[in-house]
Amino acid sequence: MRDIRQMAWIAAAAAALFSAAPALAEDVPGAGFDVTRYTLALTPDMASAALSGRETIAFRVTEAGLDRLVFTGNALTIDSARLDGKALVPVQRGKALVFELGKPLPRGRRGKLELTYHGRPARGFARSAEALYTSYFACDWMVCAQDRFGDKAAFSLDLSVPKGMDTLSVGRRVAKRAGQDGREIHRWRAARLYPAYLYGFAVGRFAEVRSGKLAFLSDVADPAELQRRFAETGDMARFFAAKAGLPLPAGEYTQLLVRGDEAQEAATYAVLGLDAMPGEPGDPAEDWAIAHELAHQWWGNLVTCTALREFWLNEGVTTFMTAAWKEHRYGRAAYEAELGAARQRLQGAREQRFDKPLAWGGTYPSLGARRAVQYSKGALFMDRLRGELGEAAFWSGLRRYTRGHAGGTVTSLDLQQAMEAASGRDLRALFAEWVFGSDDGAEKG
């Protein structure tokens, strides 16, 4: 029997299906083309948290007869849009931003969409003491396809900021020059390709500590506090590099310490809130945020799931690797405590009669339900694999998976194949039970 809560959810899902006009259902952001490069020039306004700017999206058509370019909708006002010089009219349709092309484009055709826009990002900006920083929702402050995880593209950003401001974005700052009205333009460029959800930037006046390949920035802490709070980041990076079989992927890594409880990875840095690590360094209860976001440098950012349904490969593996760091640093009890917390979260979802295979492709009823599966159950499955295969084969499988797909995108089958190759075992039944389930998305049990 389904309980009443599930009935209500199913009824709401069905209503949503029937009320959507057919044209809306086809507006899938990123469908039919791959973005090869985003080039942006943005001017954020520190007081109002609004911005204005230009963006060029270079893309290649992947489906014959592409008749529209669809991106994730946002609250920005598009002031102009031109495809290879020809004006287009933007339409916000449902949750999508759509550019109808008139004449369909053939597969393989390359194009450049040039945009100018302004506005106040809905969720894209957060404020620390004085600084502004973006968090996860890149498509709120730029035009992109937020959930197109498998589409990795080049990214460069010119940030126009008041003179004397510091900036942080993806990759490295490759140039700084004088702009208009006493402003400065900082050019950031990523050396690797990343999906859009990993793009971001921050603007403020930051205290800064550099330690080898690591940098620590903050507008709410002085260098001594940064040094103290991030004292173990170097050891963590060495631990993850050994487990991945690969050095720190971007070469350099920055942690931006802000006010609040933020814990969010971006392509080559992480934003960490003071409240996400309230205790002293060296306390096993308090360093999960530092470890989790750093682990994403390998699992999530370097090896990226192809789609939201495979998101557990980013988050479950990273949650597990956070527990593995704790085991390495503090001992077995800290590992068990981390997995115990994951078990409790999954149990909480099951008590709400919600449980899905890890690669379930349906719509989760809440963020909590999605996290219980993709983060918590994902971590528990990695622990299960470790127990099943033994130390040598499991870690060899993880290295094979990470190195074999470095810079690329993955599905659950890639992890299965790496673990099978490392162990010489047939893992179809175990992956069917935990990961794939039945492919129609039907309820289990």
Per CB under 5 A, residues contacting Zn ion are: 315
| 186 vs 243 by CB, closer to Zn ion | 243
Distances (CA, A) of 101 to 95, 106, 181, 320: 19, 12, 38, 45
Q: What is the nearest approach in angstroms of Zn ion to the Cβ of residue 292?
A: 6
- Taking CA 95 as the corner, what is the angle to CA 107 and CA 51, rounded to the nearest 5 degrees? 95
Q: Length of the chain, please? A: 445
> Do residues 243 and 395 touch, judged by C-beta distance below 8 A?
yes
Q: What is the nearest approach in angstroms of Zn ion to the Cβ of residue 342?
A: 13
Q: What is the nearest approach in angstroms of Zn ion to the Cβ of residue 349?
A: 18
Q: What is the nearest approach in angstroms of Zn ion to the Cβ of residue 271?
A: 12
Q: What is the nearest approach in angstroms of Zn ion to the Cβ of residue 185?
A: 32
Helices H, strands E: what count in the chain? 13, 22
| 315 vs 383 by CB, closer to Zn ion | 315
| 275 vs 426 by CB, closer to Zn ion | 275
- Nearest position to Zn ion, beta carbon: 315
| 54 vs 123 by CB, closer to Zn ion | 123
- Beta bridge partners, 132, equal 127, 203
Q: Which residues of 265-294 are buried (b: 16+ CB within 10 A; e: fewer)?
A: bbbbbbbbbbebbeeeeeebeebbbbbbbb
Q: What is the nearest approach in angstroms of Zn ion to the Cβ of residue 413?
A: 22
| 117 vs 288 by CB, closer to Zn ion | 288
Give 171-182 as a 3 state SS string.
Answer: CEEEEEEECCCC
Q: Which two tokens stand for residue 180?
A: 């208009």
**Phi and psi dihedrals of 136, rounded to 5?**
65, -55
| 43 vs 314 by CB, closer to Zn ion | 314
- Beta bridge partners, 228, equal none
Cα–Cα distance for residue pair 211/227, rounded to 1 Å? 9
Q: What is the nearest approach in angstroms of Zn ion to the Cβ of residue 315?
A: 5
Q: What is the nearest approach in angstroms of Zn ion to the Cβ of residue 309?
A: 16
Q: What is the nearest approach in angstroms of Zn ion to the Cβ of residue 374?
A: 9
Cα–Cα distance for residue pair 213/248, rounded to 1 Å? 9
Q: What is the nearest approach in angstroms of Zn ion to the Cβ of residue 325?
A: 14
Q: How far apart are the first and last CA of the chain?
A: 10
Helix (H, G, I), strand (E, B) or coil at 30: coil
Cα–Cα distance for residue pair 386/396, rounded to 1 Å? 11
> Do residues 176 and 60 touch, judged by C-beta distance below 8 A?
no
| 159 vs 272 by CB, closer to Zn ion | 272
| 209 vs 276 by CB, closer to Zn ion | 276
| 31 vs 307 by CB, closer to Zn ion | 307
Cα dihedral across residues 162, 167, 171, 176: positive or negative: positive
| 69 vs 342 by CB, closer to Zn ion | 342
Cα–Cα distance for residue pair 228/283, rounded to 1 Å? 13
Sheet strands (E) in 73-153: 77-83, 86-87, 90-93, 96-105, 110-119, 125-127, 132-134
